């Protein structure tokens, strides 16, 4: 579906008028979804369901790594409960070690016997001590346990091109060379296959294109290891910078990184204590990701009309600023509610609509940081509402995308029209660049067909007050049965806690019924529904 182009969304009142004109329609649905099941051409790359893990707060330490001697059940120091949960949602790829941390990370600090590794200071993570106990070998072990691909990010901040070159050699070379032999000495004979490499993170400044071009030749292809090179995206929405980077370096890149967070901010930064205006503002901001992506793709088209270069959204998510008791501000730990689940659903639907350019996206971050899948507290672990969306949407991984047209009503809040952006707002450049947007579609959806021929429809009603009905017309496919799950909650800020870890989780959905060759879906307010048709 296209939000503005293929996707036509028209006000509810017009749809009613249309239904009355037809007269003989026994039932008028408020919204209409037409899925073109005979027009699917491209696959939804499973890497769109990627993750990002950084040495920040308690993402790595506590969240993933507890050490071999921990009473928390682990395999070679890595938490079993977290690995099991990530396997369940089929995490396909994980970016590491940052983020900002990547540009201060010296990989040699994180290899060799752990007791001999230096303790360094994480200068971009609140100046906390970094034990370096989780390094290259531990990260690769984590990826193997989860069953996902690694995505490395090299240091162009205080690191050198030589250091980067040595990391590539250390990890991927099968030769008789100093770095390959050092890896063998550290217990790993075989080189790893590591395809995806970012070169720096959120690099501003006019000189970065030159830095990228200087580092790029050191990303060598050793021993049959194919590489995919991703230059940093801009800090914020700097389209001029993006234009310059593409102008200077487009021939030397496979992907281009794009980072964009949906900040809380107009009314409150709280992850859990918010009202309907805050719900609206954050979801509106999530929809705006599409405008941003289209602007960047427009620049890419200018320098790469054949669409060889891909857009790698390697950081995205909802970022709040409430400090939970016992947590440090720099740790970026935040709770996660039904609102965050909706943010995830909106983003996935946007990424799918641009699948010809977007092969990968990595939510920030997997555990305990920003929009996490998992929160931990000592030996306890809980799954967030966002985790459940990844679970419900995993059926789309590598499935054939089915183009659709969605006609739906809009959702808005008067607050949006009267709100003036404060000087403190971190969102200011974003809104200034893109202009006003008041009405957002009340529904968002994706349809795909999996390898077994089953059709999956994910559809979300973002209105927190009104239930709605969708008439779904699946053209070019026949089906006999429908089953589904739903994620919803009594309140917009319902969330899971260590005391009540299942306050919000997917339930069986009985609101979809076959009616002739149509499917009628009764969507409760603030709900995310996943349907399977066979």
**Using CB under 6 A as the criterion, which residues of the chain lie in contact with ligand AHR when the complex forms?**
54, 56, 98-100, 201-202, 259, 315, 364-365, 370
Q: Considering the complex, state which of residue 319 and residue 509 has its C-beta at the smaller distance from ligand AHR.
A: 319
Q: Considering the complex, state which of residue 375 and residue 447 has its C-beta at the smaller distance from ligand AHR.
A: 375
Strands (E), 245-285: 255-263
Instruction: Please state, in angstroms and rounded to a whole number, the distance separating the CA atoms of residues 340 and 444.
Output: 15
Q: Considering the complex, state which of residue 103 and residue 138 has its C-beta at the smaller distance from ligand AHR.
A: 103
Q: Are 405 and 1 in contact (CB under 8 A)?
A: yes
Q: Are 447 and 404 in contact (CB under 8 A)?
A: yes
* Structure token digits, residue 264: 């809380």
Q: Considering the complex, state which of residue 31 and residue 334 has its C-beta at the smaller distance from ligand AHR.
A: 334
DSSP one-letter string for 89-139: TT--EEEES-SGGGGG--GGGGSS-GGGSPPEEETTTTSEEE---S-HHHH
Instruction: Please state, in angstroms and rounded to a whole number, the distance separating the CA atoms of residues 406 and 440.
Output: 13
Report which residue's Cβ sits closest to ligand AHR.
99
Q: Considering the complex, state which of residue 125 and residue 464 has its C-beta at the smaller distance from ligand AHR.
A: 125
Element (H, E) at 348: helix 338-353
Instruction: Please state, in angstroms and rounded to a whole number, the distance separating the CA atoms of residues 490 and 464.
Output: 10
CB of 512 to ligand AHR, least distance (A): 37
Q: Considering the complex, state which of residue 259 and residue 353 has its C-beta at the smaller distance from ligand AHR.
A: 259
CB of 17 to ligand AHR, least distance (A): 47
Residues 6+ apart with CB under 8 A from 338: 385, 487, 488, 489, 491, 492, 493, 494, 495, 504, 526
How far the first Cα of the chain sits from its last, in Å, is 21
Element (H, E) at 416: helix 414-418
CB of 43 to ligand AHR, least distance (A): 28
* Structure token digits, residue 381: 């672990």
Q: Which of 290, 315, 407, 471 is catalytic?
A: 315
- Compute how many other C-beta atoms are within 10 angstroms of the C-beta atom of residue 429: 14
CB of 235 to ligand AHR, least distance (A): 8
Instruction: Please state, in angstroms and rounded to a whole number, the distance separating the CA atoms of residues 516 and 480.
Output: 10
Among the listed residues 9, 33, 43, 50, the one whose alpha carbon sits nearest the alpha carbon of residue 458: 33
CB of 429 to ligand AHR, least distance (A): 14
Among the listed residues 484, 489, 534, the one whose alpha carbon sits nearest the alpha carbon of residue 512: 484
CB of 263 to ligand AHR, least distance (A): 11
Among the listed residues 230, 194, 226, the one whose alpha carbon sits nearest the alpha carbon of residue 215: 230
Q: Which of 130, 169, 202, 407 is catalytic?
A: 202
CB of 229 to ligand AHR, least distance (A): 18
CB of 495 to ligand AHR, least distance (A): 21
**Quick check: is 30 catalytic?**
no
**Quick check: is 202 catalytic?**
yes
Q: Are 396 and 456 in contact (CB under 8 A)?
A: yes
DSSP one-letter string for 436-500: ----EESEEEEEEE-TTS-EEEEEEE--SS--EEEEEEEET---S-EEEEEE--SSTT-B--SSS
Q: Considering the complex, state which of residue 98 and residue 135 has its C-beta at the smaller distance from ligand AHR.
A: 98
Q: Considering the complex, state which of residue 164 and residue 509 has its C-beta at the smaller distance from ligand AHR.
A: 164
Residues with a catalytic annotation lie at: 202, 315
């Amino acid at each position: 579906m296209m939000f503005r182009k293929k996707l036509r969304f028209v006000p509810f009142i017009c749809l009613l008028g249309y239904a009355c004109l037809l007269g003989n329609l026994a039932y008028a649905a408020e919204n209409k979804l037409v899925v073109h099941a005979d027009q699917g051409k491209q696959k939804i790359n499973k890497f769109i369901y990627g993750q990002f893990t950084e040495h920040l707060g308690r993402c790595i330490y506590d969240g993933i790594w507890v050490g071999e001697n921990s009473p928390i059940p682990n395999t070679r120091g890595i938490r079993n409960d977290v690995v099991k949960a990530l396997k369940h949602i089929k995490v396909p790829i994980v970016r590491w070690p940052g983020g900002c941390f990547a540009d201060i990370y010296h990989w040699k600090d994180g290899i060799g016997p752990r007791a001999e590794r230096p303790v360094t200071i994480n200068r971009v993570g609140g100046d906390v001590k970094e034990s370096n106990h989780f390094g290259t070998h531990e990260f690769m072990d984590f990826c193997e346990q989860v069953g996902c691909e690694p995505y490395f990010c090299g240091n162009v901040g205080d690191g050198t091109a030589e250091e980067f070159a040595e990391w590539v050699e250390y990890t991927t070379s099968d030769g008789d060379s100093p770095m390959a032999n050092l890896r063998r000495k550290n217990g790993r004979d075989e080189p790893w296959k590591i395809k995806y490499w970012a070169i720096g993170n959120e690099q501003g400044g006019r000189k970065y294109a030159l830095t990228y071009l200087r580092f790029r030749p050191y990303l060598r292809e050793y021993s049959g290891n194919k590489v995919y090179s991703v230059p940093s995206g801009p800090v914020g929405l700097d389209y001029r910078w993006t234009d310059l980077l593409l102008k200077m370096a487009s021939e030397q890149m496979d992907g281009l990184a794009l980072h964009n967070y949906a900040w809380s901010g107009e009314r409150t930064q709280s992850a859990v204590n918010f009202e309907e205006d805050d719900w609206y503002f954050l979801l509106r901001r999530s929809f705006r990701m599409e405008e941003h992506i289209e602007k960047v793709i427009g620049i890419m088209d200018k320098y790469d009309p054949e669409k060889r270069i891909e857009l790698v959204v390697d950081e995205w998510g909802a970022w709040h600023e409430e400090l939970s008791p016992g947590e440090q501000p720099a740790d970026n730990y935040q709770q996660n509610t039904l609102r965050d689940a909706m943010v995830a659903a909106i983003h996935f639907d946007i990424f799918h609509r641009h699948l010809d350019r977007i092969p990968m996206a990595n939510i920030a971050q997997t555990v305990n940081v920003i929009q996490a899948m998992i929160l931990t507290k000592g030996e306890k672990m809980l799954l967030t509402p966002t985790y459940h969306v990844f679970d419900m949407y995993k059926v789309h991984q590598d499935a054939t995308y089915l183009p659709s047209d969605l006609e739906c009503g809009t959702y808005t809040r008067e607050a949006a029209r009267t709100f003036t952006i404060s000087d403190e707002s971190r969102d200011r450049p974003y809104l200034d660049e893109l202009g006003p947007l008041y009405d957002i579609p009340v529904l968002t959806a994706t349809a795909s067909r999996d390898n077994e021929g089953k059709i999956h429809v994910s559809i979300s009603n973002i209105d927190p007050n009104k239930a709605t009905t969708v008439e779904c017309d699946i053209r070019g496919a026949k089906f006999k049965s429908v089953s589904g799950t739903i994620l919803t909650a009594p309140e917009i800020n319902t969330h899971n806690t260590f005391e009540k870890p299942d306050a919000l989780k997917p339930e069986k959905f009985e609101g979809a019924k076959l009616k002739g060759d149509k499917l009628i879906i009764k969507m409760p307010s603030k709900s995310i529904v996943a349907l399977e048709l066979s």
